[in-house]
Amino acid sequence: MDGKSLRKSSFKLTDTLILFIALIVLVVIFSAIRVEFFSYDNISTMLKNMVITGILALGLTPLMIARGLDISFGASISFTGVLMAYLYNLGFGLPYCLILGVVAAVLVGFINGLLIEKFDLIPIILTLGMMSILSALGLVISEGHSLSMLTDQLYYFATKTFLKIPIALFILIVFIIIFWFILTFTKVGRTIYIIGANPKVATLSGIKVQKVRILLYTFMGLVAGVASIVMVAMTGVGNPLAGAKMSLPVLSAVVLGGISLAGGAGSVWGTIIGVLIVSVIFNGLSVINVPSYFIQVFQGLALILIVSLYEVRNQRAARR
């Protein structure tokens, strides 16, 4: 596995293992507290809810390995969803709505990348600004309400199963395969890891770092667009607040999976396990009837805890 061999190979393997064990322990605990947790219905609901978090976390993975960051994806989902529903209600055909929505999201990603790279801006600040703009635009278009967008095709996609597996889940699986393939077997993947290891060295090796990163931001836009379609399909509305709560679980999942904010490290499998753990915690706490506000407290605490643990570990490793 290339993503692992790139940095601290021996540590990484055990990291993934530790996370995997943590995942199983969590599942056992929640099942012990409430048997319903391990029921088919609950597991399939959980996996379905995981699709959006999962594809967003995957989109962030290469971007963050290359030392980029985007926190505007939640707002981008809201905006794109509202835009698609708005166009649909104006009478546009479904394919046009979806395509225009995705194009808008891609454009947002491209603008993020272009501004960050050309003006050498700090990604978290620029995308914070973008987040604010997109949320507001979503509210303007929708006048603050959810716009309905119920179509047979989207309903089918959101509710039907194939071999008892929700169809939406297949989208996530396709994304996993694509990202794993790119990061592990392609030159682009390697380039991303080189940039993450040291952008200056990458530039002086003749790699067009800015271009690659702009591409990754644009790709993140595409991912947000697709996530938005899944969101609209599952809820039947373009909701201007739908994406607002996505940032925290997605970022938690990615960081939990071993992607360092300093770049260079991380892998698709780490991210996926991170997403699974975050989903299990969220779903498990709901199943055992913890009030949803408390769940958010837990999420915040979990993120802080994860970052601290990794930081302590890194400092130990540096000191040996």
Q: How far is the CB of 178 from another protein (least distance, A)?
A: 12
- Residue 13 interacting with another protein (CB under 8 A): no
**Which of positions 151-190 make contact with another protein (CB under 8 A)?**
185-190
User: Is 5 or 153 the residue whose CB approaches another protein more closely?
Assistant: 5
Q: How far is the CB of 60 from another protein (least distance, A)?
A: 20
Binds another protein by CB under 8 A, chosen from 202, 246, 255, 287: 202
Helix axes 167-185 and 40-65, enclosed angle (nearest 10): 30
CA neighbor of 179 nearest in space, from 167, 192, 198: 192
- Residue 200 interacting with another protein (CB under 8 A): yes
Long-range contacts: 40-48, Cβ < 8 Å, 24+? Answer: 40/164, 42/283, 42/287, 44/161, 44/164, 44/165, 44/166, 45/283, 46/279, 46/280, 46/283, 47/166, 47/169, 47/279, 48/166, 48/168, 48/169, 48/234
Helix axes 40-65 and 73-90, enclosed angle (nearest 10): 110
Question: What x/- string results for residues 206 through 235 when contact with another protein is judged by CB under 8 A?
Answer: xxx---------------------------
Torsion-angle region of 166 (φ positive above 0: left; ψ -120 to 50: alpha; else: beta)? beta
User: Is 82 or 265 the residue whose CB approaches another protein more closely?
Assistant: 265
- Residue 7 interacting with another protein (CB under 8 A): yes
Question: What x/- string results for residues 24 through 63 when contact with another protein is judged by CB under 8 A?
Answer: ----------------------------------------
Q: How far is the CB of 248 from another protein (least distance, A)?
A: 28
User: Is 204 or 301 the residue whose CB approaches another protein more closely?
Assistant: 204
d(CA 307, CA 313): 10
User: Is 82 or 212 the residue whose CB approaches another protein more closely?
Assistant: 212
Give, as one character, the DSSP assignment of residue 92.
-
